[in-house]
């Protein structure tokens, strides 16, 4: 569950365990739910209907992977604009069907309604592969690292907001999830979460939930720290596992960026502005 | 999954098993998902925020009960208008918390976003109590019956649309779910589903899914047949179980209306207009 500004107050009304990991853990299942709403997460002229459907799934699968799980089933609640044509519906459905194939899960139910805009709510049920990756496991002296390249999503969002075009290969269009790397290395991590609200935001969650400070070893700029919707993995590693994790990174062709280390001290503070348009 | 007009075309793009029961069955779990969107399912001046939250849960729990299951967990994806005050959020949360208590389940995660209107998407995971109640089990000569009183929801919706007030006790405000009766009698039913789109609409689903005709024994008018959001249970009973089911009805104070009987022949046709404002 995300906690953005005023929404955190609503969530705070419930049992505090809601404000926790990327997904809820029930027995050996991981359950995640994310909204992907028009004019909140995307504008209709930014992405094709196929891309919108696909991305709405990918942002949920990212949470599943980040918990060290594999997706199995999904419930799709979708509000569709009244003026959509049959061709629109076919294109929209094709994005979901491609995602089902790529991520190896099945949409098993849900609800379809007519609405004034395209609003997708997806709940995904996954199965744990090994131990669940949580946000509260970071220990003193653990290294902190993230996968891949971070920073391009905000850049491309900025371009879209200026009315420019972006590449179809942009991770803003199609997030690059790191399943191979996570699957092989998650049991070596002390903590993990996906970078959905931005690197600095996730570092603050990690620090708060693990009740430990973070010493930044490698400075990064605001463009990297404040870029949301990156969907790379942020994780903690006990120093004795570092060599093995780096080897898995090399073996899977995954860039590993070591950026910090856990230290006793005050919590990491996120100074980015909220990521909304 | 509901199938209203054009939305049925979208759903038809997926595996046909989506167009089935009130919920999906995975092992001994039932999973249901329903949207409860502003200006689609309700207008903000019709219900208090507490009532909106509560009803968004009740319509899902109705599906869980109608499958012969008990709710356990829920994922709440909620889009909240930007201008909501802290008091609004407290009232909204209180409706969910009351529902958690009344229906004995727990909201374990989800997503909260800022939006232009109040749109609730809830996915509920339940546990089967006995055999699942499905739509395809109606057999030749089975009696067809529904619980309680049907027809008042459309009447009250009509009043609201005219700008009139309705009673806080209206089932349009707070659906009356028949858990006690269903729990004790579901194993005696051949089929079952909740009346969410209207009695005639559900009769047509039952007839289609069970591949059997329906002979109406007791005529009912359009006000009863076409009233959606009733959330009473429509079910089939083998004649040898009828006496026992009627006895459970009396014991639990549940009105049982026997309205028809399954016969070999053409499918029951729903002639109501879609239930939307």
CATH topology of B22-128 equal to that of B143-263? no
Please tell me the predicted confidence (pLDDT) of residue B21: 74
Q: Tell me whether residues A123 and B96 touch, CB distance under 8 A.
A: no
Convert the pLDDT of each residue in A217-271 to its tens digit. 999 999 999 999 999 999 999 999 999 999 999 999 999 999 999 999 999 999 9
B107/A4 CB distance under 8 A: no
Pairing of strands B119-128, B29-37: antiparallel
Q: How many CB pairs under 8 A join A and B?
A: 187
Place of tokens 């309680």: B148
With CA atoms as reference, the chain A residue closest to B33 would be A110
ipTM: 0.92
Maximum Cα interatomic distance, chain B, rounded to a whole number of Å? 58
Q: Is the pLDDT of residue B275 over 80?
A: no
> Which positions in chain A touch B97 (Cβ < 8 Å)?
13-14
Q: Give A75 to chain B, closest Cα distance, Å.
A: 6
d(CA B112, CA B64): 24
Give A-chain residues touching B15 at CB under 8 angstroms. Answer: 106
Closest CA to B6 of A120, A50, A85: A85
3-class DSSP state of A254: coil
More confident residue, A9 or B51: B51
pLDDT band per the 50, 70, 90 thresholds, residue A44: very high
Q: Collect all residues with Cβ–Cβ distance below 8 Å to B154 and sequence separation of at least 6.
A: B198, B223, B226, B227, B228, B229, B275
Which residues in chain B are contacts of A35 at CB distance < 8 A?
Answer: 77, 79, 111, 113, 121
Output the six-digit token pair for B36.
């409860």
Q: Please determine, for residue A275, whether its predicted confidence score (pLDDT) is greater than 80.
A: no
- Subunit contact A33:B111, Cβ cutoff 8 A: yes
Q: How confident is the model at residue B6 (pLDDT cuts 50, 70, 90)?
A: confident
The CATH homologous superfamily of the domain defined by A143-263: PurM-like C-terminal domain (3.90.650.10)
Is B15's CB within 8 Å of A77's CB? no
Best residue in B72, B88, B121 to probe A by mutation, most A CBs within 10 Å?
A: B121
Set of chain A residues whose Cβ sits within 8 Å of the Cβ of B84: 6
Mutation test of the interface with chain B: which of A64, A109, A228, choosing the one with the most B Cβ atoms within 10 A?
Answer: A109
DSSP letters along chain B, please? Answer: ----THHHHHHHTS-GGGSSSSSEEETTEEEEEEEEEBTTTB-TTTS-HHHHHHHHHHHHHHHHHHTTEEEEEEEEEEEEETT--HHHHHHHHHHHHHHHHHHT-EEEEEEEEEESS-EEEEEEEEEESSSPP-SS---TT-EEEEES--SHHHHHHHHHHTT----TT-TTTS----HHHHHHHGGGEEEEEE-SS-HHHHHHHHHHHHT-EEEESS---HHHHT--S--PEEEEE-GGGHHHHHHHHHHTT--EEEEEEEESSSPP---PPP---
For residue B274, CA distances in Å to A238, B2, B32, B173 come to: 59, 12, 22, 20
Q: Do A6 and B123 touch (CB under 8 A)?
A: no
Nearest residue to B254 (alpha-carbon basis) of B151, B171, B182: B182
User: What average pLDDT score do residues A107-113 get?
Assistant: 92
Reported as a single tens digit per residue, the pLDDT across B159-199 is 999 999 999 999 999 999 999 999 999 999 999 999 998 99
Q: Where are the domains of chain A?
A: 22-128, 143-263
Q: Which pLDDT score is estimated for B3?
A: 44
What are the backbone dihedrals phi and psi of residue A214, each rounded to the nearest 5 degrees, phi first? -130, 125
A15, A90, A121 member nearest B13 (Cβ)? A90
CB contact under 8 A, B89 and A39: no
Give residue-wise pLDDT tens across range A134-190.
999 999 999 999 999 999 999 999 999 999 999 999 999 999 999 999 999 999 999
Answer whether A77's CB lies under 8 Å from B35's CB.
Answer: yes
In the predicted model, is pLDDT for residue A16 greater than 70?
no
B48 CA to chain A: closest CA distance, Å? 17
Helix (H) or strand (E) holding A56: helix A49-66
* Token output for B31: 């999973």
Reading the block at residue A116, the tokens are: 């004034």
C-alpha distances in Å from residue A211, one per residue of A17, A47, A67, A205: 15, 39, 19, 10
Which residue of chain B is at minimal alpha-carbon distance from A41? B113
C-alpha neighbours within 13 Å on the C-beta side of residue A249: 19
The pair of three-digit structure tokens given for residue B180, joined into one six-digit string: 């006690």
Q: Which residues does chain B have within 8 Å of residue A23's beta carbon, measured at their own beta carbons? A: 109
Please answer yes or no on whether A111 and B34 come within 8 Å at the CB atom.
yes
Residues in chain B: 277
Torsion angles phi and psi, residue A173, rounded to 5 = -80, -50
What are residue B188's phi and psi, to 5 degrees? -95, -5
Q: Is the dihedral of CA B118, B47, A123, B20 positive or negative?
A: negative
Question: Is residue B251 within 8 Å of residue B200, measured between CB atoms?
Answer: no
Residue A28 CB coordination number (10 Å): 11
Instruction: Show residues of chain B in contact with A126, CB under 8 Å.
Output: none
B18 to A107: CB separation less than 8 angstroms, yes or no: yes
Is 70 exceeded by the pLDDT of residue B276?
A: no
Average pLDDT over residues B219-242: 95
Give the pLDDT mean for A3-18. 70
Question: Taking CA atoms, what residue in A is nearest to B41?
Answer: A113
> CA B267 → CA B14, B271, B272, distances in Å?
24, 12, 15
Tens of pLDDT, residues B215-230? 999 999 999 999 999 9
* Shortest alpha-carbon distance between residue B148 and chain A (Å): 26
Among the partner residues B2, B18, B123, nearest to A33 by beta-carbon distance: B123
CA distance A16 to chain B (A): 10
The per-residue pLDDT for A255 is 97
Q: Considering only CA atoms, which of B7, B72, B27 is closest in space to residue A108?
A: B27
The pLDDT of residue B2: 47
Give me the sheet containing A119-128, strands edge to edge: A24-26, A29-37, A119-128, A69-81, A106-115
- pLDDT band at residue B56, thresholds of 50, 70 and 90? very high
Name the residue with tokens 């496991």. Answer: A137
Interface mutation target, options A122, A123, A132, A196, chain B, most CBs of B under 10 Å: A123
pLDDT exceeds cutoff 90 at B4: no
Residues of A in contact with B75 (CB under 8 A): 24, 31-33, 123
Give the dihedral sign, CA A60/A175/A197/A36: negative
pLDDT of A214 higher than 90: yes
Cβ atoms of residues B20 and B26 within 8 Å: no
Domain A22-128 fold is 60s Ribosomal Protein L30; Chain: A; (3.30.1330)
Residue with the bigger pLDDT between A90 and A1: it is A90
Q: What pLDDT, on a 0 to 100 scale, did the predictor assign at position A14?
A: 82
Q: Which residue has the tokens 């949301």?
A: A228
Nearest CB neighbour to B31, from listed A2, A75, A114: A75
pLDDT at position A132 over 80: yes
- Report CB contact under 8 Å: A2, B113: yes
Q: Give the pair of three-digit tokens for residue B221.
A: 């008018």
Classify the C-alpha dihedral B223-B224-B227-B230 as positive or negative. positive
Query: Which residues from A are below 8 Å from B37, CB to CB?
Result: 79, 113, 115, 119
C-alpha A194/C-alpha A199 separation (Å) is 9
């Amino acid at each position: 569950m995300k906690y953005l500004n005023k929404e955190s107050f609503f969530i705070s009304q419930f049992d505090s365990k809601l404000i926790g990991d990327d997904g809820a853990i029930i027995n050996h299942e991981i359950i995640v739910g994310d909204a992907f709403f028009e004019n909140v997460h995307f504008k209709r002229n930014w992405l094709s209907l196929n891309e919108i459907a696909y991305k709405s799934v990918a942002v949920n699968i990212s949470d599943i992977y980040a918990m060290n799980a594999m997706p199995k089933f999904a419930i799709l609640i979708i509000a569709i604009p009244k003026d959509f044509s049959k061709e629109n519906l076919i294109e929209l459905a094709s994005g979901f069907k491609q995602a089902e194939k790529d991520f190896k899960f099945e949409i098993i139910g849900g609800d379809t309604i007519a609405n004034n805009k395209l609003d997708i709510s997806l709940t995904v049920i996954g199965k744990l592969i090994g131990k669940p990756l949580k946000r509260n496991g970071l220990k003193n002296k653990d290294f902190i690292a993230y996968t891949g390249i971070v920073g391009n999503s905000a850049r491309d969002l900025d371009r879209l907001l200026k009315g420019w075009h972006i590449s179809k290969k942009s991770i803003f269009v199609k997030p690059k999830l790191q399943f191979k790397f996570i699957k092989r290395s998650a049991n070596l991590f002390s903590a993990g979460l996906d970078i959905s609200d931005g690197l600095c935001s996730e570092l603050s969650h990690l620090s708060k939930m693990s009740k430990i400070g973070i010493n930044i070893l490698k400075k990064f700029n605001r463009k990297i720290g404040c870029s949301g919707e990156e969907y790379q993995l942020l994780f903690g590693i006990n120093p004795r596992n570092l060599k093995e994790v780096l080897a898995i990174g090399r073996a899977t062709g995954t860039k590993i960026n070591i950026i910090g280390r856990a230290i006793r001290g005050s919590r990491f503070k996120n100074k980015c502005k909220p990521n909304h348009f």
